[in-house]
Amino acid sequence: MINFLDLKEINARHADELKAACCRVIDSGWYIAGEELSSFEKEFSAYCGVKHTIGVANGLDALILVLRAWKEMGLLCDGDEVIVPANTYIASILAITENRLRPVLVEPDPHTFNLSLEGARSAITSKTKAILAVHLYGQLAPMPELMALANEHALLVLEDSAQAHGAQLNGKKAGNWGHAAGFSFYPGKNLGALGDAGAITTDDDDLANVLKALRNYGSHKKYENIYQGVNSRLDEIQAAMLRVKLPYLDGEIARRQQIANCYLNGIISNDSLTLPTVVEQTAHVWHLFVIRTTKREELSAYLHQHGVQTLIHYPIPPHAQQAYKNKIEHGNLPITELIHENVMSLPLDPTMSDDSVDLVIRLINDFFSDNT
C-alpha cells in the first residue's frame, strides 16, 4: 500500500532527536514563550532571510493576525477589498472575512494554479488595499510581478506560505517577498510540528511589535493590555520539535523535487491528463503533486485498486461552500470550478521509495494506454 502521506515514517526518522528535545522541554519547567520559541523564531528568520518571525498557534491565525495588525495600525479598515485567488484553501478566505474585509475572488492561472499578474491587475478597484498571494501546492506565486503591481497601487501584500516553506525565486524565499507572510506547521505540511503551530514572517519592525502583543492578549507587559488581543501562541514543545526538523527541510525539499521530476518525466500526458507546470525548479517545493484529469473517478479507483492512495485538493472551492453561500459577492468563476472538478493529488513525501514512485508512474501510464 502506498499511502498518500506517511506521517509516522516522516517523524520516525527523527525520533531520537524529537524525544530528546521533548525531554529537554519537560525538564526545563518552562512551557510557553521561552527559549525554544525565541530560538526557533531566530532560526526560522535566518532560514527565510527575514528580520522577524512571530510564532503563533496555527497557520490560519498567522493570516488572521497579520490582517488584524494592519487594522490596528490604521492601514486597513472594515470593508476594504483584498484580492485573493478563488481556488485557494478556505483558510486564506477565512482570514479576510474574519477581519470584516472583503475577499475579491480572482481566477487563477490554470497552468500554475496561482494568481496571475493580469488576474490581480484586473481586480483592482479604488477600494483595493491588499493582495493575499497564495503559493498553492508549494509553488511561489509570480511575486516579482505582483510586488511591482502592489507598489504601483500602494497595496499591502500578504503571502499565504502555508504550503511553500523554502520555495525560492531569484534567491529569495517564500515569506520574504510580501510585507508579511503566514506559515503553517500543521503536521502534514513540508515543515510540520507534532501538533498545531504557525508563524508570521516580516521585515517590518512595527508590524512585528504589534503582532507580538496581539498573539498574547494584546499585551507586551504582563497585565497591561494595549489591544483586544487573542491567545495564539506557539508552545515550547512544538517550537522544540520544529527546531529538530528545520535543519532537515532542505534535504527533504530536494527529495520532493527529485520525486516530482520522476513523475514529470515518467508520466505520459495525453488529452485527458495534464501534468503540473513548473515555473522555475527552485520555486516549487512540491507540497502537493497535482495533476488534472477528466477521468478522475476512474483513475483514482484504478490506483486505489492497485494500492495507491490519492486525494483531491480541493473538492469544493471556497465560494461554493455552504459557509459562504450568498455571503461573498463574486462573478462567474469557470476556471476555478473546472480546477476543482478535475484536480487529483498523487502521493509524494520525502520517505517515498524509488520503487513506489516507479509503480505510481507505471500504473498511471497503464491506465491511460488501456483507456484512450
Ligand X SMILES: *Cc1c(COP(=O)(O)O)cnc(C)c1O
- The smaller minimum CB distance to ligand X, of residues 92 and 176, is found at 92
Min CB(347)–ligand X separation in Å:
17
Among 115, 162, 200, 348, binds ligand X (CB under 6 A): 162
Q: Is 98 helix (H, G, I), strand (E, B) or coil?
A: helix
Min CB(85)–ligand X separation in Å:
10
Edge-to-edge, what's the strand order for the sheet holding 102-106?
52-56, 198-202, 180-184, 156-160, 128-134, 81-85, 102-106
Q: How many of the chain's residues bind ligand X (CB under 6 A)?
A: 14
138 near ligand X (CB under 6 A): no
Considering only 83-91, 232-240, 329-337, 344-352, which stretch makes contact with ligand X by CB under 6 A?
A: 83-91
91 near ligand X (CB under 6 A): yes
Distance CA(269)–CA(21), nearest Å, equals 45
Window 12-71: residues binding ligand X (CB under 6 A): 58-60
Min CB(71)–ligand X separation in Å:
20
318 near ligand X (CB under 6 A): no
- The smaller minimum CB distance to ligand X, of residues 179 and 295, is found at 179
Among 44, 47, 186, 302, binds ligand X (CB under 6 A): 186
92 near ligand X (CB under 6 A): yes
Min CB(310)–ligand X separation in Å:
18
Q: What cell numbers appear for 83 in the block? A: 484580492
Distance CA(104)–CA(8), nearest Å, equals 39
Q: Which residues contact 314 (CB under 8 A, 6 or more apart)?
A: 89, 90, 340, 343
| H helix intervals, 81-222 | 90-98, 117-122, 143-152, 205-214
Min CB(156)–ligand X separation in Å:
18
- The smaller minimum CB distance to ligand X, of residues 156 and 162, is found at 162
Min CB(102)–ligand X separation in Å:
19
The end-to-end CA distance of the chain, in Å, is: 26
- The smaller minimum CB distance to ligand X, of residues 84 and 259, is found at 84
Min CB(84)–ligand X separation in Å:
11
Min CB(176)–ligand X separation in Å:
17
- CB atoms inside a 10 Å sphere around CB 180: 28
Q: What cell numbers appear for 308 in the block? A: 495507491
- The smaller minimum CB distance to ligand X, of residues 109 and 160, is found at 160
Among 132, 134, 214, 283, binds ligand X (CB under 6 A): 134
Angle value at C-alpha 186, between 168 and 141, nearest 5 degrees: 30
The beta-carbon contacts of 169-172 under 8 Å, at least 24 apart in sequence, are: 169/140, 169/143, 169/144, 169/279, 169/280, 169/282, 169/283, 170/144, 172/49, 172/143
Q: Tell me the residue number closest to ligand X, measured at CB.
A: 59
Considering only 65-73, 159-167, 169-177, 297-305, which stretch makes contact with ligand X by CB under 6 A?
A: 159-167
Residue 370 β-bridge partners = none
- CB atoms inside a 10 Å sphere around CB 343: 23
The H or E element containing residue 199 is: strand 198-202
260 near ligand X (CB under 6 A): no
Q: Which residues contact 52 (CB under 8 A, 6 or more apart)?
A: 41, 45, 200, 201, 202, 203, 204, 205, 207, 208
- Binding-site ranges for ligand X (CB under 6 A): 58-60, 88-89, 91-92, 134, 160, 162-163, 184, 186, 198
